[in-house]
Chain A
Amino acid sequence: MLAILDYGVGNLRSLRNALDYVGVEVEVVSDPARLEEASHVILPGVGAFGKAMANLRARGWVEPLVRHVSAGKPLLGICLGMQMLASKSFEFGEHEGLGFVPGKVVPFEASDEYPVPHVGWNNVTFEKKHPALAAVKRPVDYYFVHSFHFVADVQADVIATSEYGVRFASIVGRGNVIGCQFHPEKSQAGGLAILESFAAWDGKSS
């Protein structure tokens, strides 16, 4: 079973609908004790980093997530869920993240040419192959909406990059953990292909 982690923020319906559509057995799980039943976990997220991490901690998700990752099972973070994989974020103060992918989350600099948030369809360039994306033959454009971006400490953890005034990590991955800054569930056929590919991944990094 693929578990969508429900910790009280955002629109989980779209993600659930998208996974239903590609034929994955999926459950929205709001009880952390049930996480161990999951073969795959998706950590979604919108909104502010500090608030989301506080929610995750208050509802007792951190330890089950660490156990899931330690067991070598696949984890996908989406948007803010990807940013929470980092060690820390500088959104409205400094906040500690889950630390599954060493790195930090920093703001975009707004300008006339690059308004913030970065919202819309942007292309991604794969920096390397990743087994979670084995079924994705050709990257297309994906839907982004965010004001902060991930800076990985280890270059090898950057799977794909995109450009918005700066070149930033749009997919990161380390071991059995992967995260994408864009919303695959909102990115039409190209996004559905990513979800389908993740659901088929065994969590091995090569």
Chain B
Amino acid sequence: MLKKRVIPVLLLRGKRCVKGKRFENFRDTGDPVMATRVYNAQAADELVFLDIDATNEGRPPSLDILEKVSEEAFMPFTFGGGIRTIEDVRRALAAGADKVAITTAAVLDPELVAGVASTFGSQCVVAGIDVREEGGSYAVYTHSGRRRADIGLVDLVRRLDAAGAGEIFVNSIDRDGMMQGFDLELVKTVAGVTKKPVIVCGGAGNYGHLVEAFRAGAHAVACASLFHFGDNNPPRVRAALKNAGFPVKDI
């Protein structure tokens, strides 16, 4: 039986990890290589690294951290931030990524996701979507939440699904860093229009929030603040999910 995944997210700014609230007010949360070592020792299910400044600085993601962590942590890595071309993907995979997260370019360049999927396989494409709730519906944003996109959420999910994305990673900007729970309507909306695995991010503050997201239809949950700012870790998460009746990884 497939187990429920809980995925720590590491946001990279320069050579450090940071975490903010609603994509602003970032605080330093430590060294990414050290953090990865700890997550490896705790057998985290996967890790997602996002270079949050790459797109806005108009550069590809910085991959040296990925090269370092892939030498000592044997779990799946997703790397994202600033990926705009198939060549960027090739470099990220060569540096040790198993999957790439494509967010801004997935909106601006509809051909990219299809090109990456046909070149490297759907399994390595995680399509990222950042949304804000505006007037009762979801608005899609690019450039780390700075620019509103022209396409609606449901249309974008359908387009990314058809283009061959392997997983959909949806992030609520409103909930980001607030630790008040995931946007469950967002989970239901996205899971309702795709048969690809849906990863929800934004809002986890306790283990109950993870349970709610799985019950709402998420296939995996991603969290940062939960691990950065609380006395929480992957083994405790697994124990809590097991108590709630979910299948978790046997290590």
A residues with CB within 8 A of B:
9-11, 13-14, 17-18, 20-21, 46-48, 80, 110-112, 115-123, 140-141, 143-147, 163-164, 183, 185-192
Contacts and interface: CB of A to CB of B under 8 A. Distances in A.
5 contacts: A120-B2, A141-B249, A143-B46, A145-B166, A183-B76
Tell me the dominant secondary structure on chain A's binding face: mixed
Interface in B207-251: 219-220, 249-251
Nearest to B167: A119
Given A116-B195, A117-B123, A140-B251, A11 B3 contact: no
B75 A188 contact: yes
Contacts of B2: 118, 120-122, 144, 164
Interface string B145-158: 00000000000000
A160 to B, nearest CB: 14
Given A10-B93, A116-B196, A145 B70 contact: no
Nearest to A139: B250
A188 B219 contact: no
Interface of B: 1-5, 40, 43, 45-46, 67, 70-72, 74-76, 93-98, 118-124, 166-167, 191, 194-198, 219-220, 249-251
B119 A47 contact: yes
Does more than half of chain B's interface fall in helix, strand or loop, or is it mixed? Answer: loop
Given A115-B197, A145-B166, A9 B75 contact: no
Contacts of B194: 115
Contacts of B46: 143
10 cross-chain pairs, A with B, having the tightest CB-CB distances, nearest first:
A47-B121, A110-B195, A145-B123, A121-B249, A121-B3, A11-B93, A141-B249, A141-B250, A13-B96, A115-B197
Nearest to B196: A115
A144 B118 CA distance: 19
Given A10-B120, A17-B96, A189-B251, A119 B197 contact: yes
A185 B71 CA distance: 11
A147 B250 contact: no
Contacts of A145: 76, 98, 123, 166
Contact of B250 (A112, A140, A144, A192): A140
Given A116-B195, A183-B98, 12 more contacts: A13-B94, A14-B74, A20-B71, A46-B124, A112-B191, A117-B167, A118-B2, A119-B167, A121-B5, A122-B2, A143-B75, A190-B251
Contacts of A11: 93-94, 96-98
Contacts of B124: 46-47
Contact of A120 (B5, B72, B196): B5
A119 B166 contact: yes
Contacts of B96: 11, 13-14, 17
Nearest to A146: B123
A112 B195 contact: yes
A141 B94 CA distance: 26
A13 B95 contact: yes
Given A110-B195, A140-B250, A188-B251, A18 B74 contact: yes
A111 B195 contact: yes
Given A13-B70, A117-B123, A146-B123, A186 B195 contact: no
B120 A143 contact: no
Contacts of A190: 251
A122 B219 CA distance: 13
Contact of B98 (A14, A121, A189): A14
B161 to A, nearest CB: 10
Contacts of A141: 3, 249-251
Contacts of B198: 115
Contacts of B4: 120
A10 B3 CA distance: 25
Contacts of B72: 17, 21
A46 B95 CA distance: 16
B250 to A, nearest CB: 5
Contacts of B219: 115, 120
